[in-house]
Amino acid sequence: MSEKQARITDIGPPHHDKFLPPVIKENYGKWKYHENPRPGVLVHVSHSGAKIWSVRCATPRILSVISIRKICELADKYADGYLRFTSRNNFELLITKEANVDPAIKEAIAIGYPVGGTGNSLSNIVHTQGWVHCHSAATDASGVVKAVMDELFVHFQEQKLPAKLRIALACCLNMCGAVHCSDISILGVHRRPPKADDANLGKICEVPNLIASCPTAAIRPTTKNGVATVEIEEEKCMFCANCYTVCPALPINDALNDGVSIWVGGKVSNARSTPSFSKLAIPWLPNTPPRWPEVVSAVKNIVDVWAKDARPYERVGEWVSRIGWPRFFKKTGIEFTKHHIDDFKHCGGTFATSTQMRHNG
């Protein structure tokens, strides 16, 4: 190797053409329709008559290289080495021979990758890093996801829900997992104001940026023991942790107060109703590792009530629009509290301003 080899930079990702199975290359943009012969399998049919079967398998998102190689073996054996991952952390074997579909399903399940997530089912939970990798986490991500999916597993395998069910989890309000438009969102929340590390704050943080970072203007500059630091007006703090994002000397994580909130009724697709945010269902549940039983049963309860009550193709939010929020709380048995009433900027628009109500029901 020569000493001064030209460094390769700015090449971008490899072109996807290199990774497409021949049947996709030949039929790119020429697909006519698809069918869903069984849960977890889609077959796309081209105008030319060509077909491709996709077998969707769940992963825990965290994958070791050892598991990825096992998945590669599966792809080699049944799909000529072609596969893709989905936007919700599943992988799909791209199979051209129908006879390979059933054995592929069998083997995927046998080595630990369940098949499902298509049609009116629950797909994988989009989630974030949690205690596995992030400083900001108010809860773990992977552990909660695992516990919830274990409980709701049947809905991944079957397609018997009224509509698609999309659950997302983010371990803090930064919401790297982008949870705010899901049927059910699981969101880690802090509940104790940050405590300034006065001795170091002035040295390691940019105080003007720190003050500007607070959405409620709760942070003021001050001096303690002769050093510049900041003071938090605790009654103004809504625990967003934005200040901590810009300044490590304002730790906010707290074992006693951190926990999990549950939001419902959002969606991103434009089908029927327009995309919408999820709304608060449960402000706080405790962090109870390793299996978060309170969170699991709260999510299961909402899913059960919705699955029983919704009409076909009614997503959680569409169901609530039809029956109304009062009845959502009544049917799920979830308590409505003052925390459910918005008190941030522009909150007035969320107050009820009509006499229309379902008193008798």
Partner 1 sequence: MSDELKINVEGVGELAVDEDGFIEDPGKWSEAVAKHLAGTEGVTELSEDHWKLVNYLRNYYMEFNIAPMIRKLCKETGFNLKKVYELFPSGPAKGACKVAGLPKPTGCV
Partner 2 sequence: MTDNVKKHETPLLDELLKGPWPSFVKEFKTLQDKKAVANDLLGQLEYSYKTKLGYWKHGGIVGVMGYGGGVIGRYSSLAEMFPAVKHFHTIRVNQPAGWFYTSKALRTLCDIWEKRGSGITNMHGSTGDIVFLGTNTEELEPIFEELTKEGFDLGGSGSNLRTPSCCNGQARCEWACYDTMGLCYDLTQTFQDELHRPQFPYKFKIKMAGCPNDCVASIARSDLSIIGTWRDNIQMDQSAVLKYASDGLDIQKIVVMNCPTKCLDWNGKELKIDNSNCVKCMHCINVMPKALAPGKDRGATVLLGSKAPIIEGAMLSSVLIPFIKLEPPFKELKDVIGRIWEPWAEHGKNRERIGEFIERVGKGNFLEEVGIDPVPEMVKHPRENPYIFYDEYLEDE
Q: Report the site for partner 1 in 158-187 (rule: CB under 8 A).
A: 174
Q: How far apart are CA 308 and CA 332, in angstroms?
A: 11
Buried b (16+ CB within 10 A) or exposed e, 179-198: bbbbbbbbbbbbbbbbebeb
Q: Scanning residues 271 to 300, which ones bind ligand HEM (CB under 6 A)?
A: 271, 277-279
Question: Smaller CB distance to partner 1: residue 109 or 176?
Answer: 176
Q: In 3-state terms, what secondary structure has residue 118? A: coil
Mark the segment that binds ligand SF4 (CB under 6 A) among 10-18, 117-125, 165-173, 294-302: 165-173
Q: How many beta carbons lie within 10 A of that of residue 231, not counting itself?
A: 14
Question: Smaller CB distance to partner 2: residue 38 or 326?
Answer: 38
Binding mask 221-260 for ligand SF4 (x = CB under 6 A): -----------x----xxxxxxx-----------------
44 strand-pairing partners = 34, 52
Binding mask 132-171 for partner 2 (x = CB under 8 A): xxxxxx--x-xx--xx-xx--x--x---------------
DSSP H or E segment with residue 149: helix 142-151
Binding mask 232-271 for ligand HEM (x = CB under 6 A): -------------x-----------------x--xxxx-x
Q: Are 41 and 101 in contact (CB under 8 A)?
A: yes
Q: Are 25 and 17 in contact (CB under 8 A)?
A: yes
Q: How many beta carbons lie within 10 A of that of residue 230, not counting itself?
A: 24
Q: Which of 38, 84, 191, 192 binds partner 2 (CB under 8 A)?
A: 84
Q: Which of 218, 249, 260, 303 binds ligand SF4 (CB under 6 A)?
A: 218
Q: Which of 240, 241, 247, 334 binds partner 1 (CB under 8 A)?
A: 247
Question: Smaller CB distance to ligand HEM: residue 261 or 287?
Answer: 261
Letter for the amino acid at 46?
S
Q: In 3-state terms, what secondary structure has residue 194? A: coil
Binding mask 38-77 for ligand HEM (x = CB under 6 A): ----------------------------------------
Q: Scanning residues 197 to 236, which ones bind partner 1 (CB under 8 A)?
A: 200, 203-209
Q: Which of 128, 182, 287, 332 binds ligand SF4 (CB under 6 A)?
A: 128
Q: Are 95 and 50 in contact (CB under 8 A)?
A: no
Q: How far apart are CA 98 and CA 35, in angstroms?
A: 13
Question: Smaller CB distance to partner 2: residue 6 or 352?
Answer: 6
Peptide bond into 312 cis (omega under 30): no
Q: How far is CA 60 from CA 125, 144, 145, in A?
A: 9, 11, 9
CA angle 133, 138, 141 (to 5 degrees): 55
Token pair recorded at residue 104: 């592929």
Letter for the amino acid at 69?
R
Q: How far apart are CA 264 and CA 281, in angstroms?
A: 6
- The residues that touch partner 1, with contacts defined as CB under 8 A, are 174, 200, 203-209, 245-248
- The residues that touch ligand SF4, with contacts defined as CB under 6 A, are 128-129, 134, 136-137, 170-172, 174-176, 193-194, 213-216, 218-219, 232, 237-243
- The residues that touch ligand HEM, with contacts defined as CB under 6 A, are 34, 86-88, 90, 117, 123-124, 126, 128-129, 133-134, 136, 164, 166, 168, 173-176, 178-182, 185, 245, 263, 266-269, 271, 277-279
